[in-house]
Amino acid sequence: MAHIVGHLSLRRLEARYRAAHDATEARHLQAIWLLAQGRTVLEVAEVLAFVPRWVEQLAARYNASGPEALGDQRRRNGRPASLLTPELLAALARRLKKPPDDGGVWSGPKAAAWMARHLGLAAVHPQRGWDALQRLGWSLQSPRPRHPRAAAAEERSALKKRSARRWRGPGRRVPAVRSRSGPRTSTASA
């Protein structure tokens, strides 16, 4: 049986365990609550499907630092994101009003390249460019193709010329030509 320091009473441990919104924190509090009731480390490990060594580590963390030491500690390690700052996003939003330097439409890699130049970095990963575009409300878009009947006369004629040379694809037959003198023949050579 593990010794649990009385940072919180049994009632407060139970209330905090039942009110926890984070699943990891709830399971950690449940482990401490069960240990504080007098259950053994093996019983608690079996109930929660934890390894006994982890239950011992949770008890040690709780005893040393209290309930703040429980839960997913990875969320609070490290530092806040430093690349996509509000200032950078505002500057990118102003830049997005004009087309990119190489023409075309803005994409994640193009935004990342602009961000690298703006920040004086060698490179910025293309995913960060896409993340910045998404934060600014951009999405993947391409212009809708226009209907051939909506095109001007010269555009229609160009379309007709291209469609006559179109590849027919696998499984499509070339129409057969009938000859008066003999059987049907194909116009395509094999």
Q: Looking at the predicted structure, is the pLDDT value of residue 111 above 90?
A: yes
Same domain for 91 and 64, yes or no, is no
Structure-model confidence comparison of residues 36 and 164, the more confident one: 36
Q: For 12-16, 37-41, 112-116, which range has the lowest pLDDT when averaged over its residues? A: 12-16
- Return all residues near 91 (Cβ < 8 A) that are at least 6 apart: 118
Q: What is the pLDDT of residue 124?
A: 93
When divided into structural domains, the chain yields a total of: 2
Mean pLDDT, rounded, of the chain:
80
Q: What is the pLDDT of residue 147?
A: 73
Q: Say which DSSP state 56 is in.
A: H
Q: What is the pLDDT of residue 40?
A: 92
Same domain for 60 and 97, yes or no, is no
Same domain for 72 and 92, yes or no, is no
Is residue 26, in this structure, part of any structural domain at all? Answer: yes
Bridge-partner residues for 176, per DSSP?
Answer: 186
Q: Looking at the predicted structure, is the pLDDT value of residue 38 above 80?
A: yes
Q: What is the pLDDT of residue 128?
A: 93
Is residue 35, in this structure, part of any structural domain at all? Answer: yes
Q: What is the pLDDT of residue 127?
A: 93
Q: Which domain holds residue 107?
A: 86-135
Torsion region of 66: left, alpha or beta (phi above 0 gives left; psi -120 to 50 gives alpha): left
Same domain for 67 and 118, yes or no, is no
Taking the C-alpha atoms of residue 59 and residue 35, their distance in angstroms, rounded to an integer, is 8
